[in-house]
Amino acid sequence: MGHAAGKDLYRRLGEKVDGLSCRAPWNETLREILKGLYSEEEADLLVRMPAGASTIGRLVEAAGLPDARLRTLLEGMAAKGLVVDLCLDGESYFMPAPMVIGFFEFTMMRSGVADVKRLSRLFHDYIEEGGGFYQANFGAGEKVSVMRALPHEEAFRPEVGMEVLDYEKASAIVSAADKAAMGACACRHKARHLGLKPCSVPPGVCTSFGYAADFLIRRGLAREASKREVRDALARSRDLGLVLNADNVRRNVTFICHCCKCCCMALRGIAKHGYPNAVMSSSFICEVAEDRCSGCGACVSACPISAMSLAPRPAVEREALVAEVDQTTCLGCGVCVMKCRDCAASLARRGKRVIHPETTFRKIILGCLERGTLQNQLFAEPGNIGQDFMRAAVGAFLGLSPVKRALMSDALRSVFLKAVEAGARLKGQGWATEL
């Protein structure tokens, strides 16, 4: 294999990464991040890899490398979290890791990363300081985020008898998991290396489940955890007033994050940078019973995204102030409800249904459709002339706003997703639709 270094290998790697499920627009900071993480040989391999999951046999063809060399490279990249591997029914599949959730988190979850301070600064600058990251992923009103808020179960008052589905309960997600892992929180680890005010949350709280936990444990990025440890961590997060942000799927939830407003880049994406869809809301919203509200402001201090405020009462009968919820940004996380001693704040079902993707496959398809990268998943073979043509043609078609809007609409979304799933099954990748 001849390296494509002469044609600016890292620029091509940047294009590849930008075309995955999370957009990563090019700039010189991204170049520095990529150069800090991927050797030239690794960068060259990643550029040649299909966007989706591939067997070793498929990768030998795509990369033009001897089997043994390819395996060595992939093992090294998986240990660094630059590729993700899954072991299903005795077969291994490798896929390029996007930036988020992907090589940003995995790098910051690893121990012994050379130059970690510099990488922390680069990631911070890239994501938060004008690199266009939030804009590229959420700037056009994209709704499908990788994370959704998970309401604290303790925020539901038993006397109300609210129906809460299993995928909306952390306790049910933990009970259903066949494996759990806990590891370093990437955002807090990064913040610590930036020398920011230390966060009071313990660092090892990132919780993952199922095949994601299996990947993280095998690759030394997290440790296996008992369900009891995970439940204890959830209870502590409730007491600390953290937001639980879960994998934005209804089946096979692969993680629950325990997020604070000071470090979490998703919550900062909402509160500091103004992108409310950086986390998809739960199916609930906070409501305030004005007649009970004392205007104490505890909910305002507790809300991590400033969706609560105090407003003057129209007619001052008792207290002068009453809590008000910003309905456009409230995540329905329940953190404020647990701080309200007067039982004035509560969680209610939203009037408009929130549709969380059923599976990871559907989350990726819908997220990529919204972000203009679906063609890379559908025609995933780089360097194949037929697929290159289809990628360009279908990409142009799917990029048309009316087409995108129609496919995301309630009327067509389900039909569209079923058609893509049928296509995956025809290609022998039916297993992926079940993830």
Cβ of residue 249: shortest distance to ligand SF4, in angstroms?
16
Name which of 46 and 271 has its Cβ closer to ligand SF4: 271
Cβ of residue 261: shortest distance to ligand SF4, in angstroms?
10
Name which of 65 and 184 has its Cβ closer to ligand SF4: 184
Which one, of 70, 84, 65, lies nearest residue 20 by Cα?
84
Cβ of residue 209: shortest distance to ligand SF4, in angstroms?
14
Cβ of residue 20: shortest distance to ligand SF4, in angstroms?
19
Name which of 327 and 409 has its Cβ closer to ligand SF4: 327
Name which of 270 and 365 has its Cβ closer to ligand SF4: 270
Name which of 38 and 255 has its Cβ closer to ligand SF4: 255
SS (H, E, C) the chain: CCCCHHHCHHHHHHHHHHCCCCCCCCCHHHHHHHHHHCCHHHHHHHHHCCCCCECHHHHHHHHCCCHHHHHHHHHHHHHHCCEEEEEECCEEEEEECCHHHHHHHHHHHCCCCCCHHHHHHHHHHHHHCCCCHHHHHHCCCCCCCCEEEECCHHHCCHHHCCCCCHHHCHHHHHHHCCCEEEECCHHHHHHHHCCCCCCCCCCCCEEEEHHHHHHHHHCCCCEECCHHHHHHHHHHHHHHCCEEEEECCCCCCCEEEEECCCCCHHHHHHHCCCCHHHCECCCEEEEECCCCCCCCCHHHHHCCCCCEEEEECCCCCCCCEEEEECCCCCCCCCHHHHHCCCCCEEEEECCCCCCCCCCHHHHHHHHHHHHCCHHHHHCCCCCCHHHHHHHHHHHHHHCCHHHHHHHHCCCCHHHHHHHHHHHHHHCCCHHHHCC
Dist CA 194 CA 319 (whole Å): 43
Q: Is the bond into 101 cis (omega within 30 degrees of 0)?
A: yes
Cβ of residue 38: shortest distance to ligand SF4, in angstroms?
22
Cβ of residue 239: shortest distance to ligand SF4, in angstroms?
15
Dist CA 64 CA 282 (whole Å): 45
CA distances from 83 to 106, 228, 336 (A): 10, 30, 38
Tell me phi and psi for residue 347, to 5 degrees: -100, 135
Name which of 127 and 331 has its Cβ closer to ligand SF4: 331
Dist CA 147 CA 379 (whole Å): 26
Cβ of residue 343: shortest distance to ligand SF4, in angstroms?
8
Quote the radius of gyration of the chain (alpha carbons, Å).
22
Name which of 9 and 337 has its Cβ closer to ligand SF4: 337
Cβ of residue 96: shortest distance to ligand SF4, in angstroms?
20
Name which of 16 and 192 has its Cβ closer to ligand SF4: 192
Name which of 119 and 333 has its Cβ closer to ligand SF4: 333
Name which of 13 and 122 has its Cβ closer to ligand SF4: 122
Cβ of residue 336: shortest distance to ligand SF4, in angstroms?
3
Cβ of residue 348: shortest distance to ligand SF4, in angstroms?
10
Residues near ligand SF4 (CB under 6 A) are 185-188, 206, 245, 257-259, 263-266, 286, 288, 293-299, 302-303, 305, 307-308, 323, 325, 330-336, 339-340, 342, 344-345
Cβ of residue 206: shortest distance to ligand SF4, in angstroms?
5
Name which of 188 and 362 has its Cβ closer to ligand SF4: 188
